[in-house]
Chain A
Amino acid sequence: MSNLIDSLNERGCDTAGALERFLDDEDLYAQFYLRCLDDKYFVMLGQALLDGDIDNAFDYAHALKGVIGNMGITPLFNLTCEIVEILRAKTKAGVVERYNRLMKMRNEYKSLLNY
Chain B
Amino acid sequence: MAGLGKGSKTVGNNSENSQNSVGTKNKSCDYDFSGKNVLLCEDHPLNSEIAVRLLNRKHCEVDTAENGAIGIELFMNSKIGYYDLILMDVRMPLMDGIDATKVIRNSNRADSDIPIIAMTANAFDDDVDSLLESGMNRCLAKPFEPKELYKAIFEMTAI
Contacts and interface: CB of A to CB of B under 8 A. Distances in A.
A72 B146 CA distance: 14
Contact of A21 (B43, B44, B121, B146): B146
Interface residues of B, number: 17
A36 interface: yes
Contacts of B43: 63
Interface in A42-62: 59, 62
A32 B121 contact: no
State which size class the interface on A falls in.
Answer: 10 to 19
Interface string A60-98: 001101110110100000000000000000000000000
B46 A32 contact: yes
A35 interface: yes
Interface string B135-153: 0000000110110000000
A49 B146 CA distance: 34
Interface of A: 17-18, 20-23, 32, 35-36, 39, 59, 62-63, 65-67, 69-70, 72
Given A20-B145, A66-B44, 7 more contacts: A22-B53, A23-B54, A23-B57, A59-B91, A63-B44, A67-B44, A67-B47
